[in-house]
Amino acid sequence: MRSTVKHSPVTSISFRVILSLLIAIFVFSSGKIFADQQESFKIYVVGEDRSFSGQQLQAAGHDVTWEVDALQIKLADLSQFDQVWFVDIFAVPDATGRANLINFIKSGGKLFFVGDSYKEERAPLYNWRDSLFNELGAGGVRQSADVNPSQTVYYTNPFHVTSYTPNTVHYIEHGEGRNGSFDDIGNGTVIVGAGLDATGTPIAIAFNYGDLEEAPHSRAVIYLNSNMYTNWDLYVENLAKFLGSKDKTILQARYTSALPENQGHLKIALHNSRDVSGLQFNLLDVPDAITPLQITTTDRCLTFSASWEDNPDGSISIVISSQQGAAILPGTGSIADILYEVNSGVKMGDSSDIKLSDVLISDEYDQPMLTTLLNGKFYCDVLKGDVIMDGVVNIIDLVRIIDIILDRPPEPTQIEIDAADYNCDGDVNILDVVAIINMILGREPAGLTKGLSLNIQSDDAVQVKSAGIIPFFLSKEKPISGAQIELQFDPQIVKLGTPELTNRADGMTLVTARRQNKLSILIFGINGKLIAPGDEAIFNLPFAFKSARNTQNGFHVEKIILADGNAGSANFSDAELNYFNLQLLPIAYRLEQNYPNPFNMDTEIQYQLSERTAANLTIFNVLGRKVVTLFDEEQIAGTHRIHWDGRDANGQIVGTGIYFYRLQTPAFTQTRKMTILK
């Protein structure tokens, strides 16, 4: 990491001297620096460990304590441990054990709970487990009683919890029939057993900081399948890293990208459960690929300043301090932004490790805080979100991404499309818009997508007269941060007006684009606002059919994507999309002439109902005797078609001659004549 520009002077000499002294004292007393301790946790493995998780954890360098009897958790002193791994699938702890575990989690302890598919003998434990998590504020998590070996409704982007850093995904294959599923994931995030760009069967739920509302400083994982397939040892190792230590500060260098000879931004993130008065650390890229130009603090530490100086080994020492005696409040998020340039000679596809070391973080009492370090990575590649290629992601990129989604000119280049696909799902859509807004506003990504309830009321098409509005309710039960709707329509049949937001979407932005027979609609909150749950429509779409006698649809909802507050997605099925299709209601009842007529073996009869009603269609011979009733039931309003195959009620083919067919409702009767020729 070279430094070719004059950097900021040290802003607080006294603070740096104190930090240096504290480093020396702590290293001397502990015998090792923080970085050496970063991957070793004290873990309590309780229960019958059928997957040998404890052995894998010990092999990874952790200090593991075993207790085979899960009921003994009531007697354990959990305060000394960073993590508890509950690996039994039968034993249900008593009330004392439950209270002990809850207190551990609320105090910042981390929990892994093993599981398997739901079976009768396991039901008491799993119901107890789900109840415990919901008491901790998990939001209604519930394992399904059904075994589902092929569920594919969950999608995972590259932020996969089986790796403790983004974009490094390890996963585990499972045997047929071993996969469970969830009826409700609550505030959690589904982990699937698939790779970077695939759907797969759900295998676990992860709860990140804040997801457990009654234990916001804790992380937890509920696992569904406990077997020893490929990568299980790596899976256990990475889950332990994800869970981390109890009440320990985490400093992380984020992943960053920039094109050759361009500039980029490297974020330094901090998770702290106590106030932080200042910090110092070293930063080194291996191999040397980037040069720092400027370091600024973020909104988490506005009254702090950042300075750095070069070290002989090529690293830089960074100090973040406050001359006003302020503190970085507990939370998770970026605290520093390092503007850098890519060194000459670095080519597309090159990469380097961003390594942190020699960290000292002081609490509100100027005492050192035990710290976990998570290294980052530089990629010489497109910076996700930086569509205009200026090294930073901001509102200008957001505007361009919206233009790309709406097919506005100019035609995007492949580099622009790659940069606009912020969540790496292969598509540029509303999810990327919401994710970039969250990033601009400094919100932390959820890491994995979460499902939404779609709340479609009916599988019937929307029944309308010749003109009116279509209300789009979308999600009624959960808040959403954005929506993308793609409509196909025939301008010769129907005219679509300008969509109008309702009061429920107050404060949101709506943009549209029309191209011949396509209308695209984007709804999002530029300030990060969410659309609250409710029974009111989110927007109304005016329309008018050009002919009151038209019987064609002329209108089709091609796509609806909803985004939650973390840029997680929900997509509508074809059946649910059909709810929004328009069907023009006839002004009056009508029975059309059958076609073809005359006919030999098959003919079609079309009829119109102006309202939902009981109706029957019966065929008679020339003597007035009933041949067959084609239907006798309640039907919805609209235009209907039915075929007759020339057979009577007994399935016998009728002879040549003239027949009559009659449509009858409580308010209408009409009869027409048809001819069969053999």
Peptide bond into 410 cis (omega under 30): yes
Q: Over the range 456-491, which residues count as b (16 or more CB within 10 Å of their CB) and which as e?
A: beeeebbebebeeebebbbbbebebbbbbbbbebee
pLDDT band at 447 (very low <50, low <70, confident <90, very high): very low
Among 292, 225, 530, 265, residue whose Cα is nearest residue 391: 265
Q: What is the DSSP string of 216-278?
A: TT--EEEE------TTHHHHHHHHHHHH--TT-EEEEEPPEEE-TT-EEEEEEEEEESS-EEE
Strand segments, DSSP code E, in 273-395 are: 276-286, 290-297, 305-310, 316-321, 331-342, 351-363, 371-374, 376-380
pLDDT of residue 565: 66
Residues written for the chain: 678
Report which listed range, 14-23, 331-340, 590-599, is most confident: 590-599
Average pLDDT, the chain: 77
pLDDT of residue 606: 92
How do the domains of the chain map onto residue ranges?
Answer: 13-32+248-380, 42-243, 462-584, 590-676
Q: Quick one: tokens of 121?
A: 């003998």
- Could you count the other beta carbons within 10 Å of the beta carbon of residue 43? 25
Q: How far apart are CA 55 and CA 552, in angstroms?
A: 67
> 642 versus 226: which is more confidently predicted?
642
Q: How far apart are CA 403 and CA 420, in angstroms?
A: 11
pLDDT band at 8 (very low <50, low <70, confident <90, very high): very low
Q: How far apart are CA 422 and CA 419, in angstroms?
A: 6
pLDDT surpassing 90 at residue 646: yes
Q: Quick one: tokens of 506?
A: 């107050």
pLDDT of residue 633: 95
pLDDT surpassing 90 at residue 247: no
Among 205, 240, 257, residue whose Cα is nearest residue 415: 257
For the whole prediction, is pTM greater than 0.75? no
Cβ pair 221, 204 in contact under 8 A: yes
What dotted CATH number matches 462-584? 2.60.40.680
pLDDT surpassing 90 at residue 359: yes
DSSP code at position 60: T
Q: Which whole number is the average pLDDT over 659-674?
A: 95
Packing angle, helices 430-440 and 395-405, rounded to 10 = 180
pLDDT of residue 198: 40
**Is the Cα torsion angle 115, 118, 122, 123 positive or negative in sign?**
positive
Percent above pLDDT 70 for the chain:
76
CATH 3.10.100.10 assigned to domain 590-676? The reply is no
* 497-512 pLDDT per residue, tens: 899 999 999 989 999 8
Identify the H or E element spanning 578.
helix 574-578
Q: Which whole number is the average pLDDT over 278-288?
A: 93
pLDDT of residue 28: 36
Q: How far apart are CA 145 and CA 122, in angstroms?
A: 10
* 175-195 pLDDT per residue, tens: 344 455 667 778 877 665 544
Express the helix, strand and coil content of the chain in percent, nearest 5 each.
15, 35, 45
Q: How far apart are CA 10 and CA 1, in angstroms?
A: 19
Query: Across-strand partners of 336?
Result: 268, 297
Q: How far apart are CA 472 and CA 292, in angstroms?
A: 49
* 588-642 pLDDT per residue, tens: 788 999 999 999 889 999 998 888 899 999 999 999 999 999 999 999 877 789 9
> 41 versus 478: which is more confidently predicted?
41
Q: How many CA atoms lie within 13 A of 36 on its CB side?
A: 6
pLDDT surpassing 50 at residue 458: no
pLDDT of residue 576: 52
Q: Could you give the C-alpha distances from 294 to 5, 8, 176, 242, in angstroms and in order?
A: 9, 8, 53, 31
Task: Decide whether 42-243 matches 590-676 in CATH topology.
Answer: no
pLDDT surpassing 90 at residue 149: no
**Helix, strand or coil, per DSSP, at residue 659:** strand
What dotted CATH number matches 13-32+248-380? 2.60.40.680
pLDDT surpassing 70 at residue 453: no
Q: Which whole number is the average pLDDT over 305-319?
A: 94
CATH superfamily placement of domain 42-243: Class I glutamine amidotransferase (GATase) domain (3.40.50.880)
